[in-house]
Amino acid sequence: MSTEPTQPGRRRVVLGAVGGLGAVGVASALTACGGSNDPTIPPEESAASSELSSNGTLDVKASDIAVGGGVIVESAKVVVTQPAKGTFKAFSAICPHQGCVVAKIVDNVITCPCHTSTFNAETGAVLGGPSPSPLAPHQLTVKGDTITLPSA
């Protein structure tokens, strides 16, 4: 008999990793559940790709970021969101509470997995949990389908 606890809703952390250049990995957490519990339908998750430019900046494809979702650029510890169609924001992915890397962006809410602080995906403001301060904003530029993150 199994006594292992279950945590409905937390079973699947939507993370994907792509590391074409080794040091460059992007985990993505895209839109919320599509409402289907059909196990034959794959979850809405995908990995975004990023490239390290020769000048040290990171490029992320805007089309890899769902509206209301975002991607976490692991190598830069930056989370890039699209709170509204065509509007992109970037923040430090380091949670101000105890330094975990945020892990999920769903319905314009960024969540830290360690103690479930939540942040507004447009402003970085704390929505809930123990974080004492918002996620720090990070610069980005958008040109066509390319979002460029300056090196930290």
Q: Which is nearer to ligand FES, 66 or 93 (CB)?
A: 93
Q: Taking CB under 6 A as the rule, does residue 19 contact ligand FES? A: no
- Is residue 124 a contact partner of residue 133, using CB atoms and an 8 Å limit? no
With the CA atoms of 114, 141, 139 and 80 taken in that order, what torsion angle do they form, in degrees rounded to the nearest 10? -10
Buried b (16+ CB within 10 A) or exposed e, 32-61: beeeeeeeeeeebbbbbbbebeeeebbbbb
Helix or strand or coil: residue 149? strand
- Pair 90, 80: CB distance under 8 Å: yes
Residue 117 touches ligand FES, criterion: CB under 6 A:
yes
Q: How far is the CB of 113 from ligand FES (least distance, A)?
A: 8
Q: Which of 47, 100, 109, 142 binds ligand FES (CB under 6 A)?
A: 100
**In angstroms, how far apart are the furthest CA atoms of the chain?**
57
- Mark the segment that binds ligand FES (CB under 6 A) among 18-26, 39-47, 81-89, 93-101: 93-101
* x-marked contacts with ligand FES along 35-74 as a string, rule CB under 6 A: ----------------------------------------
Q: Is 150 exposed, middle or buried (0-12, 13-18, 19+ CB in 10 A)?
A: middle
- Interface with ligand FES by CB under 6 A: which range of 13-21, 44-52, 98-106, 141-149? 98-106
Task: Rule CB under 6 A: choose which of 24, 95, 106, 126 binds ligand FES.
Answer: 95
Q: Which residue has the tokens 């074409």?
A: 20
Q: How far is the CB of 85 from ligand FES (least distance, A)?
A: 29
Residues that bind ligand FES (CB under 6 A): 95, 97-100, 112, 114-115, 117, 129-131
